[in-house]
């Protein structure tokens, strides 16, 4: 809970770099105005980022009557970041420059029964090697590798504590990866990766408080409060999917009943279809993706059952999102992940209407509900952002000490 001066410097460094990424080229004066920091503080932080070669001086702009102002911009060639998205059926790896443009992608398939940690780690290492080679970048210019793995993770120790769909229990993932990769490594889960991606590059950027609602097979709500990720005391905040929407309702795999996830996760949506039209042609019983795709196509074609399913799903989702609005009073609620992106605007419209019926007037008036604007895989982007944050956390030190920062430092608890 204690914000130390170092935590605060780190948070300010994030904010300054975020503004530079958003607005390159930009002057120190503009950065001071945008961040609320003093010009002296901005100048110090910009100096650290220049030392780190993350940004570069790119010329001057005239200021009315005064001295020309120096402009800085992200140094896209100043380093690279890797984001790794380990999912149940694939390993997806992206290499980014420091403006978070994708330089190269690689994907490896994880087949059922082939998710042994050593095997997956080998796939990750091969994919990382491949993207680095294809981008023609020296491995020493990769500032860090961020890894997302589903379920509960212990980021300080780099352990995947519990990933049921991979059948992983207490896997020391970063230790295993460190046998293959020399870069600083960072671990977290997809919910927090998507949230950080929205915070840096998406709909939560510059917003005071934001909630990122992830709609996939599982469901969660990443909380970006006060400009930073709210992790909770044991890094497990955001389990909105397992909050009660219907006391004594549908059974959930968590052991509880009536969880939000059982109504609005992909299997929950399949159940909604079954309840409205048991023999529906929309249903592909063993295939969530095919079902959601069929639903999206049927909605586009104006199919009345499909419209009813979306309306009913939105009724549940709207009630659950209203709870988040009433409890947290966020400035924006972002609908993210594959179910949200496939159902898109029709779902969004119904959700907005349902929230308007449920939420209290005052927080409702302050909240906007949007679809995620991130065009690429937000999990890889967010994982790479963890590596970016890790690199920034060491700034200021780095210019004074040449020792490479290892994972022990990278995993230090944040503000």
Residues that bind a second copy (CB under 8 A): 1-5, 8, 11-12, 15, 35-38, 41, 152, 161-162, 206-209, 221, 223, 225-228, 230-240, 242-247, 249, 254, 256, 316, 319-320, 322-323, 326-331, 358, 360, 362-363, 365-367, 415
Instruction: Give the nearer residue to a second copy in terms of CB position, either 249 or 267.
Output: 249
CA-wise closest residue to 324 among 394, 195, 220: 220
Shortest distance (Å) from residue 125 CB to a second copy: 29
Q: CA-to-CA distance for 382 and 379, rounded, in angstroms?
A: 5
Q: Give the pair of three-digit tokens for residue 276.
A: 């409205």
Residue among 266 and 388 whose Cβ is closer to Zn ion: 266
Binding mask 170-209 for Zn ion (x = CB under 5 A): ----------------------------------------
CB 335 within 8 A of CB 351: yes
Q: Min. distance of Cβ 66 from a second copy in angstroms?
A: 24
The pair of structure tokens assigned to 408 is: 């022990």
H-only helix segments in 77-220: 117-135, 173-178, 190-201
Distance CA 53, CA 290 (A): 46
CA distance 142 to 132: 8
Cα gap 16→32, rounded to integer Å? 9
Residue 252: contacted member of Zn ion, a second copy, none (CB under 5 to 8 Å, by partner type): Zn ion
CB 275 within 8 A of CB 316: no
Q: 216 vs 238, which CB is nearer to a second copy?
A: 238
Nearer to a second copy, 211 or 282 (CB): 211
Q: Which helix or strand (DSSP H or E) is residue 108 part of? A: strand 102-109
Q: Name which of 100 and 319 has its Cβ closer to a second copy.
A: 319
Measured from the CB atom, is 26 or 259 closer to Zn ion? 259
Does the N-terminal peptide bond of residue 25 adopt cis geometry, omega within 30 degrees of 0? yes
- Which partner from the list a second copy, Zn ion, none does 415 bind, CB cut-off 5 to 8 Å by kind? a second copy
254: contact with Zn ion by CB under 5 A: yes
Roughly how many angstroms between the first and final C-alpha of the chain, as a whole number?
A: 7
Given the complex with a second copy, which of 35 and 157 has the nearer CB atom? 35
How far, in Å, are 270, 305, 382 from residue 14 at the CA level? Answer: 41, 47, 14
Distance CA 69, CA 33 (A): 14
- List CB contacts of 393: < 8 A, sequence separation 6 or more: 10, 409, 410, 412, 414
Q: Shortest gap between Cβ of 176 and a second copy (angstroms)?
A: 22
Site for Zn ion in 225-244 (CB under 5 A): 242
Q: How many residues does the chain have?
A: 415
Which tokens go with 91? 């390993």
Using the rule CB under 5 A, is 327 a contact of Zn ion?
A: no
Minimal distance in Å, beta carbon 270 to a second copy? 19
User: Phi/psi of residue 154, each to 5°?
Assistant: -105, 100
Shortest Å distance, C-beta 263 to Zn ion:
11
We find the least distance from the C-beta atom of residue 259 to Zn ion, in angstroms, to be 3
Smallest separation (angstroms) from a second copy to the CB of 288: 22
Q: Which stretch binds Zn ion (CB under 5 A): 42-50, 256-264, 272-280, 380-388?
A: 256-264
**Interacting partner of 403 out of a second copy, Zn ion, none (Cβ under 5 to 8 A depending on kind):** none
- Residue 392 binding Zn ion, by CB under 5 A: no
> Using CB under 5 A, which of 102, 259, 310, 410 touches Zn ion?
259
Binding residue (CB under 5 A) for Zn ion from 41, 256, 329, 376: 256
Quick one: which of 103, 215, 252, 388 contacts Zn ion (CB under 5 A)? 252
Least distance to a second copy, CB of residue 294, Å: 26
Cβ nearer to a second copy, comparing 168 with 316: 316
Can you tell me the distance from the alpha carbon of 265 to that of 263, in angstroms, rounded to the nearest whole number? 6
CB of 323 to a second copy, least distance (A): 4
Other CB atoms within 10 Å distance of the CB of residue 312: 17
Closest CA to 124 of 181, 183, 188: 181
Residue whose CB is less far from a second copy, 11 or 120: 11
- Total chain residues near Zn ion (CB under 5 A): 5
- Coil vs helix vs strand at 162: strand
Beta-strand relationship, 152-154 and 142-148? unpaired
List interacting residues with Zn ion (CB under 5 A).
Answer: 242, 252, 254, 256, 259
């Amino acid at each position: 809970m204690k914000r130390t001066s170092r935590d605060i410097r780190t948070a300010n460094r994030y904010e300054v770099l975020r503004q530079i990424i958003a607005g390159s080229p930009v002057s120190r004066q503009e950065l001071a105005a945008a961040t609320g920091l003093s010009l002296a503080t901005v100048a110090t932080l910009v100096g650290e980022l220049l030392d780190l070669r993350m940004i570069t001086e790119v010329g001057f702009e005239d200021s009315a009557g005064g001295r020309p102002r120096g402009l800085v911009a992200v140094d896209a060639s100043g380093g690279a970041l890797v984001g790794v998205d380990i999912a149940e059926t694939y390993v997806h790896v992206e290499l980014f420059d420091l403006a978070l443009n994708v330089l190269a992608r690689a994907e490896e398939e994880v087949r059922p029964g082939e998710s042994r940690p050593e095997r997956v780690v080998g796939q990750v290492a091969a994919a990382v090697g491949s993207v680095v080679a294809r981008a023609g970048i020296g491995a020493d210019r990769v500032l860090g590798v961020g890894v997302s793995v589903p379920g509960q993770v212990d980021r300080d120790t780099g352990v995947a504590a519990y990933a049921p769909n991979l059948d992983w229990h207490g896997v020391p993932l970063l230790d295993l990866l460190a046998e293959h990769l020399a870069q600083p490594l960072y671990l977290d889960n997809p919910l927090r990766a998507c949230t950080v991606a929205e915070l840096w590059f998406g709909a939560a950027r510059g917003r005071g408080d934001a909630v990122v609602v992830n709609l996939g097979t599982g469901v969660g709500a990443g909380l970006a409060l006060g400009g930073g990720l709210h992790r909770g005391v044991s890094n497990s905040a955001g389990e909105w999917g397992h909050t009660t929407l219907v006391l004594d309702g549908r059974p959930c795999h968590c052991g509880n009943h009536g969880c939000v996830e059982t109504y609005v996760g992909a299997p929950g949506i399949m159940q909604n279809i079954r309840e409205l039209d048991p023999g529906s042609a929309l249903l592909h019983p063993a295939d969530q993706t095919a079902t959601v795709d069929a639903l999206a196509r049927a909605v586009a074609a104006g199919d009345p059952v499909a419209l009813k399913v979306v309306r009913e799903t939105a009724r549940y989702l709207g009630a659950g999102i209203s709870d988040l609005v009433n409890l947290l009073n966020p400035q924006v609620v972002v609908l993210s992940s594959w179910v949200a992106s496939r159902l898109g605007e029709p779902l969004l419209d119904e959700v907005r209407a349902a929230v308007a019926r449920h939420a209290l007037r005052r927080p409702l008036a302050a909240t906007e509900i949007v679809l995620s604007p991130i065009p690429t895989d937000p999990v890889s982007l967010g994982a790479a952002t963890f590596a970016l944050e890790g690199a920034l956390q060491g700034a200021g030190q780095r210019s004074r000490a040449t020792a490479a920062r290892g994972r022990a430092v990278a995993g230090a608890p944040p503000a």
